[in-house]
Amino acid sequence: MSNTDFEHINDEECRQFQDAVELAGRKWNAAILLAGARGARRFSEYRDSVDGISDRLLSARLRELEIDGLIERQVAPTTPVMISYTPTDDGRRLIALMNPLVLWSRDRAERAARAKSA
């Protein structure tokens, strides 16, 4: 792949891409979005699905993902109040866009394992 393949990307698009990569790559964000894509809705379901995250950090990340438009928070006026978190269309799209990276990382790990055993 030559450098000319990337000449169509302007500086503003590069900054937007960098912001998107940092958002997607921030620790726990992908795991939280994946948990939501797999059906987690309640805080406890997210906590159970995201191994190793603290309640405080999960709460902060859910709030950040909501601000970034990747998670929607719904409050049901019941007693007690029921709060649920659902990935937005953008959140689900981000998870789908990350799938090729998952496949690439799996392939890379398999190649490294083969090279190590050779």
1 within a domain of the structure (yes/no)? no
Asked if the model's pLDDT at residue 2 lies above 60, the reply is: no
pLDDT at 118: 83
21 within a domain of the structure (yes/no)? yes
The total number of structural domains that make up the chain: 1
80 within a domain of the structure (yes/no)? yes
64 within a domain of the structure (yes/no)? yes
| Predicted confidence (pLDDT) per residue in 9-61, tens digit | 788 888 888 999 999 999 999 999 999 999 999 999 999 999 999 999 999 99
Q: Omega before 100 cis (within 30°)?
A: no
5 within a domain of the structure (yes/no)? no
What's the Cα-to-Cα distance from 99 to each of 102, 103, 118, rounded to whole Å? Answer: 5, 6, 29
74 pLDDT tier (thresholds 50, 70, 90): very high
110 within a domain of the structure (yes/no)? yes
Asked if the model's pLDDT at residue 1 lies above 50, the reply is: no
Strands (E) located in 1-118:
71-76, 82-87
Percent of the chain with pLDDT over 90: 79
108 within a domain of the structure (yes/no)? yes
4 within a domain of the structure (yes/no)? no
Cβ atoms of 92 and 70 within 8 Å: the answer is: no
pLDDT at 39: 96
CATH number, residue 47:
1.10.10.10
The structure's pTM equals 0.82
Give the structural domain span for 93. 10-117
